[in-house]
Amino acid sequence: MASISGQGTPKLTSAVGNLYYDSILPYREDANMQTREFLARVVDVLLDFVQKVNDRNEKILEFKMPEEMQKLLDLELHDEPLPLKQLLEDCKATLKYQVKTGHPHFFNQLSCGLDVISLAGEWLTAAANTNMFTYEIAPVFILMENIVLEKMRNMIGWKTGDSILAPGGSVSNLYAFLAARHHKFPQYKEKGLTSIPGHLVMFTSDQCHYSVKSCASVCGLGTDYCVCVPSDERGRMIPAQLERLVRYHKDKGHVPFFVNATSGTTVLGAFDPLSEIADICEKYDMWMHVDAAWGGGLLFSKKYRHPRLTGIERADSVTWNPHKLMGTLLQCSTVHFKYEGILLSCNAMSAEYLFMTDKIYDPRFDTGDKVIQCGRHNDIFKLWLQWRGKGTSGFERLMDRLMELSEYMVRRIKEQPDKFYLILEPELVNVSFWYLPKQLRGIPHDANKEIRLGKVCAKLKGRMMQSGTLMVGYQPDDRRPNFFRNIISSAAVTEKDVDFLLSEMDRLGQDIVVE
């Protein structure tokens, strides 16, 4: 296959390759041509990597143990500068050993794939290199952010509200916690714990993301007061158990104030019953947050939105990560609120050196005082450009396609019961299953066999990494030992890739023996 860059191996001419950092822009005003050549060769390296990522004949990774990798790579920082030709070689070496997370046979994480339009947006973002705290230094990006976030709130089902992009779903959930506490107890911002009549208690499913429990630790509740509500066999919060625990803590004199419902759990991809949870939150005057970091993309889909996300419009806040199901490049996480102005009210510190009120434009366009970070990376352009390219209808088709591919995988697993055991019918693109090597075929399925199947997972994953041909994640949960959790969230995946996944697991694992 011909190289996208048009070069066999991108190289600099000797005239430029032997130059140093201070011989190109911005150090020399007359170095436009030298700068252009250096950056063009770096782009060639990137383009060749994009090509390899999408080449099914390429390995996903060249796995090396950490000790061996340290010997292979020159990562030392020197006292004296290195020439541009060495920096170009450093770029090549870095990508040579990087896992190709956009490869069609990478099923390992929730964030898979390499959306080329979003990639173009990320390149432009890096070149612009601006902060997102004021309109005066990021005018176009601030306006883009307003447009995109309003569109997302409308899709949730709200006509007004507030939103922000945060550095990951964990921080988005933290913003929701802070806003909930401020909404219920606005005096807490100045007076702290003394302003609250009793100990605050929050509730979440026992299948939730660990960041929810982290909120309790970081914000002073203590993890003992983040109450885990039991889930059913499919991983969905049981509303009756939620109400029982809320009443128990009220009877003890505690202050139940926050419920986190999950729409798309990390492991099983389960959706908590939002409407029933909303009823309980209204009954006991509690803030309802929906962590839809993983499953929020299904809001685009007329076919799959309901019943999974039915009732999300009744929430007070929602976390939604475009860098997961929507395929926007990492990182791109959003958090949305039903109440307009709540972020500023909750987080503003009114730093006069940044957020002056006598600017020549409306200071409401400044976003820095809405967040606890001050500095904030530009995560909007890659999403805005991707949305322009796909259109809302394109995202809907992508969501439907990913779900259909997961349904196809379930069918293929069921067609091979001697080799694969489906753990449950998925609600999202998380397909949970065990692989059966020859040693364990034909044996009745019981708890002892599950323990042995769990041991197979670690061995087979090791073989995947050594071969470099496939990556699928595994983990235990509170009901069973290790099992495989396959994720299809990449637009590159086809039915043939799903077939390859299953046949390659069998090729690599059929002779595995466990005690």
Compute the Cα dihedral for 187, 189, 191, 193 and give only its sign. Answer: positive
Within-domain flag for 113: no
Q: How many C-beta neighbours within 10 Å does residue 477 have?
A: 17
Last residue of a domain, one of 100, 122, 144: 100
> Do 214 and 336 lie in a common domain?
yes
| CATH number of domain containing 336 | 3.40.640.10
> Do 214 and 327 lie in a common domain?
yes
> Do 373 and 429 lie in a common domain?
no
> Do 211 and 340 lie in a common domain?
yes
> Do 371 and 502 lie in a common domain?
no
Q: How many C-beta neighbours within 10 Å does residue 499 have?
A: 13
> Do 369 and 433 lie in a common domain?
no
> Do 447 and 476 lie in a common domain?
yes
Residues 413, 486: contact at Cβ < 8 Å? no
Residue 8 is encoded by which pair of tokens? 């066999």
> Do 365 and 404 lie in a common domain?
no
Q: Say what the alpha-carbon torsion angle 270, 283, 248, 240 is, to the nearest 10 degrees.
A: -40
Using CA atoms, how far apart are residues 24 and 26, in angstroms rounded to an integer?
A: 6
Within-domain flag for 258: yes
Within-domain flag for 110: no
Tally of domains in the chain: 3
Within-domain flag for 122: no
Within-domain flag for 288: yes
pLDDT per residue of the chain (515 residues) written in tens, 0 to 9: 445 545 468 999 999 999 999 999 999 999 999 999 999 999 999 999 999 999 999 999 999 999 999 999 999 999 999 999 999 999 999 999 999 999 999 999 999 999 999 999 999 999 999 999 999 999 999 999 999 999 999 999 999 999 999 999 999 999 999 999 999 999 999 999 888 888 999 999 999 988 899 998 998 899 999 999 999 999 999 999 999 999 999 999 999 999 999 999 999 999 999 999 999 999 999 999 999 999 999 999 999 999 999 999 999 999 999 999 999 999 999 999 999 999 999 998 877 667 788 889 988 898 988 999 888 999 999 999 999 999 999 999 999 999 999 999 999 999 999 999 999 999 999 999 999 999 999 999 999 999 999 999 999 999 999 999 999 999 999 999 999 999 999 999 999 999 999 999 999 999 999 99
Residue 16 is encoded by which pair of tokens? 């430029």
> Do 253 and 315 lie in a common domain?
yes
**Percentage helix, strand, coil, to 5, in the chain?**
45, 10, 45
Within-domain flag for 10: no
Instruction: Say what the pTM is.
Output: 0.95
Compute the Cα dihedral for 18, 24, 30, 33 and give only its sign. Answer: positive
226: Cβ–Cβ under 8 A, 6 or more apart, which residues? 202, 203, 204, 212, 213, 215, 216
| CATH number of domain containing 437 | 3.90.1150.170
Domain that holds residue 93: 19-100
> Do 497 and 352 lie in a common domain?
no
> Do 301 and 395 lie in a common domain?
no
> Do 305 and 351 lie in a common domain?
yes
